[in-house]
A and B are shown apart, each in its own frame.
Chain A
Amino acid sequence: MALEAEPVRRDADRLRAKYHRRYLMGRFTLYLLAIIAAFCCAAPFLWGAITALKLNGDLYNPNNNPFLFNQPATMDHVLFLFQETPFLTFIWNTLWMGFLVVVITLVLGLPAAYALARLERPWSGPMAIGIFFVYLVPPSLLFLSMSRIVVWLNLQDSTWALVVVYPTFTIPVSVWLLFGFLRSIPKDIEQQAMVDGYSRLQAFVRVVIPIMFPGIVAVIVFAFTLAASEFLYALAFVSPTVEKPVSTGVPTVLIRGDVFFWQSLQAATFVVAVAIAFVFNLFLDRFVHGFTMGAVKG
């Protein structure tokens, strides 16, 4: 078969220019799409930040440009949020509740993931799928009967109800993620530890957990995000204002009947959103890694 290199011979320079143009077009499109995506996702929050600082007269005027300060900016509503409402209480509730939920999730979920990934039992596979199927029984189905159980446990109207109930949806997904992370760690490391004299359990604690640490952190962040975001259970089980987490506290306190404290609402949203997203982003790569391992083999 003879050589057929004519296009390259004759038009190398034209080709070079053409590919360079294509490359530039590609980069341009990439940046354009990235900017559009970022804008669509973040615009409501950026706008919310502006709104939080607006005077009532500025805000409640449909003719005013909503993206500019037509009257001077004010910290009044932000201060109102922090000083005159239980906002800080809500944040505190979400924090300690989230913390405990994460602890419970890890204490129960990490060993479970290890058992499924390493201690090969015949029922490992079906068990893993079973855990996933728990997701198909959502809060919107369980909340009614769950409220009975909460009453029975004497936790009604207390943030503790959430601490007890939330792990039901954080554990399954955490087990799945941790399972994925574990599968990416070669078994030799623990086996080496066991040869060196450690038992399975000791090898797990002393050797595996430190290696998994970044993955564990990613799961912590994800579980916390889920707990902080949950709405239905919090709405159904916790009525007293001081017990509420941020997700139900802010809407109920800052929306009284027909009165909306919009600026404070936006300030609250902005603060919470940025804080969580910042931490989440720090661990995004680890999180993606875990999903890969979990997803590839169902």
Chain B
Amino acid sequence: MAVVEVRDLHKVYDGAQQAALGKINLATEEGEYLVLVGPSGCGKTTLLRTIAGLEQPTAGEVLIGGEVVNGLPPRARQIAMVFQSYALYPHKTVFGNIEFPLKASRIDRPERERKVRWAAELLGLTRLLDRRPRQLSGGERQRVALARALVRDPAVFLLDEPLSNLDAKLRTSARDELKRFQAEIGTTTVYVTHDQTEAMGLGDRIAVLSDGAVRQIGSPSEVYDHPADTFVATFIGSPPMNLVPSGDRLVGFRPEHLLPEEDVPGSDRVTVPFAVDRMENLSGDRHIYGTVTGIGEPTRVIARLPTTVTTPITVGESHAFAVAADRLRFFDTDPDSGRRAEPVRLEA
């Protein structure tokens, strides 16, 4: 049974022309880490808040634990939420913050204390229990927010971009901690972010949203290797997938699959002349910018060569590159597009 399910969810804000969410259908699997990812304004936060009960849908249903929860306030939904700003109560100690949700559940004091200490220990906060939020670092505040969410024993965790307030350096280790934490607790989690790297790193499944609609849901590798449309193809992956117009289609291939001819083994491939005009050296990989011809119209693309590929490349010259045929993806040229079957073309 899906822990969180959304059926035909539709949301329009008063006075708005466009729907914030248009007919969304989504269901989580038990214990999974589902990431909602998309650019700003795509509706991912609206969706999260609607699940939480902080926004009311215009139409459609939200189900938690199999029960329709429309009309119920957040506190009756068995959820816990971590806000982007963490929303810690500044006038309470860390202990007080974590304890607060338990007070509403009418649990007696000794039991409350036990639970708070349990949560604090799980998140390494035991020696910080007497501090106030303003005395804590960003990472510590995030852990307090998590402890506060954990202590209610919810059916689902909802997290709204909790890493965006951290320094870039801190973000990677925080991401790691989050994932391990969730694996240990095992509670279903719905996580919102605009950062596709974060999404790829954290999610068991990713839902890519844009303009209030879910473009694709799948595991990170599914979404990466088999994007449902050009939006997903260019949003996921950094640098984004190259798209070359060719006839009535767009031909797509990832930068790491555009390699010098001699490094693409096998006969089932397409060779293309690649006029190189710029090269960047990033973390050992070489990012090569240039124009390809021969697939379709001449288009500016990026090639990403890992360190294992040592073929020398000179800026300003044209090299023979190739893409393995099974790495080609095809999309139709309509702005909202899907995939099509592929005509195979060979290159002289």
Q: Are chains A and B touching directly in their complex (CB below 8 angstroms)?
A: yes
- Could you list which residues of chain A lie within 8 angstroms of chain B, going by C-beta atoms? 1, 3-5, 7-9, 12, 15-16, 19-20
Contact of B78 among A1, A5, A16 (CB under 8 A): A5
Contact of B155 among A3, A16, A19 (CB under 8 A): A3
By Cβ-Cβ distance, the 4 closest A-B pairs, closest first, are A5-B65, A12-B67, A16-B71, A5-B78
Q: Which residues of B contact A15 (CB under 8 A)?
A: 72, 76
Q: How far is the CA of A22 from the CA of B71 in the complex (A)?
A: 12
Q: Which residues of A contact B67 (CB under 8 A)?
A: 5, 8-9, 12
Q: Which residues of A contact B155 (CB under 8 A)?
A: 3, 5, 8
Most chain B CB inside 10 Å of its own CB: which residue of A4, A5, A7, A16? A5
> What's the least CB distance linking A123 to chain B, in Å?
28
Which secondary structure characterizes the binding site on chain A? helix
Closest to A5 in B: B65
Q: How far is the CA of A222 from the CA of B164 in the complex (A)?
A: 42
Closest to A1 in B: B153
Q: Which residues of B contact A5 (CB under 8 A)?
A: 64-65, 67, 78, 155
Total residues of chain B contacting the partner, CB 8 A: 17
B124 within 8 Å of A (CB atoms)? no
- Could you list which residues of chain B lie within 8 angstroms of chain A, going by C-beta atoms? 64-73, 76-78, 153, 155, 185, 187
* 26 residue pairs A–B, Cβ–Cβ below 8 Å: A1-B153, A1-B185, A1-B187, A3-B65, A3-B155, A5-B64, A5-B65, A5-B155, A7-B76, A8-B64, A8-B65, A8-B67, A8-B69, A8-B76, A8-B77, A8-B78, A8-B155, A9-B65, A9-B66, A12-B67, A12-B68, A15-B72, A15-B76, A16-B71, A19-B71, A19-B76
Q: Which residues of B contact A19 (CB under 8 A)?
A: 71-73, 76
Q: How far is the CA of A214 from the CA of B77 in the complex (A)?
A: 43
Which secondary structure characterizes the binding site on chain B? loop
Closest to A16 in B: B71
Q: How far is the CA of A12 from the CA of B63 in the complex (A)?
A: 11
Most chain A CB inside 10 Å of its own CB: which residue of B65, B66, B77, B155? B65
Q: Which residues of A contact B70 (CB under 8 A)?
A: 16
Q: Which residues of A contact B66 (CB under 8 A)?
A: 9
Closest to A22 in B: B73
Q: Which residues of B contact A9 (CB under 8 A)?
A: 65-67
Using A8-B65, A9-B67 as known contacts, say yes or no to A16 and B185 having CB atoms under 8 A apart. no
Closest to B186 in A: A1
A4 touches B153 (CB 8 A): yes
B71 touches A20 (CB 8 A): yes
> What's the least CB distance linking B75 to chain A, in Å?
9
Q: Which residues of A contact B77 (CB under 8 A)?
A: 8
Closest to A12 in B: B67
Name 15 extra pairs, CB < 8 A, besides A1-B187, A8-B67: A4-B78, A5-B67, A5-B155, A7-B76, A8-B69, A8-B72, A8-B77, A8-B155, A9-B65, A12-B67, A12-B69, A16-B70, A19-B71, A19-B73, A19-B76
Q: Which residues of A contact B71 (CB under 8 A)?
A: 16, 19-20
> What's the least CB distance linking B32 to chain A, in Å?
14
Closest to B31 in A: A3
A16 touches B153 (CB 8 A): no
Q: How far is the CA of A12 from the CA of B64 in the complex (A)?
A: 11
Q: How far is the CA of A1 from the CA of B118 in the complex (A)?
A: 12
> What's the least CB distance linking A221 to chain B, in Å?
30
Q: Which residues of A contact B153 (CB under 8 A)?
A: 1, 4
Q: Which residues of B contact A1 (CB under 8 A)?
A: 153, 185, 187
Q: Which residues of A contact B65 (CB under 8 A)?
A: 3, 5, 8-9
Q: How far is the CA of A20 from the CA of B187 in the complex (A)?
A: 29
Closest to B30 in A: A3
> What's the least CB distance linking B112 to chain A, in Å?
16
> What's the least CB distance linking A208 to chain B, in Å?
29
Q: Which residues of B contact A20 (CB under 8 A)?
A: 71
Q: How far is the CA of A248 from the CA of B14 in the complex (A)?
A: 50
Q: Which residues of B contact A8 (CB under 8 A)?
A: 64-65, 67, 69, 72, 76-78, 155
Q: How far is the CA of A20 from the CA of B56 in the complex (A)?
A: 14
Q: Which residues of B contact A12 (CB under 8 A)?
A: 67-69, 72
Q: Which residues of B contact A16 (CB under 8 A)?
A: 70-72
Closest to B150 in A: A1
> What's the least CB distance linking A1 to chain B, in Å?
5
Q: How far is the CA of A1 from the CA of B68 in the complex (A)?
A: 23
> What's the least CB distance linking A22 to chain B, in Å?
9
Q: How far is the CA of A4 from the CA of B185 in the complex (A)?
A: 14
Closest to A2 in B: B153
Q: How far is the CA of A8 from the CA of B73 in the complex (A)?
A: 12
> What's the least CB distance linking B3 to chain A, in Å?
8
> What's the least CB distance linking B119 to chain A, in Å?
10
> What's the least CB distance linking B24 to chain A, in Å?
21
Q: How far is the CA of A18 from the CA of B150 in the complex (A)?
A: 27
Q: How far is the CA of A19 from the CA of B67 in the complex (A)?
A: 16
Q: Which residues of A contact B73 (CB under 8 A)?
A: 19
Most chain B CB inside 10 Å of its own CB: which residue of A3, A4, A15, A19? A3
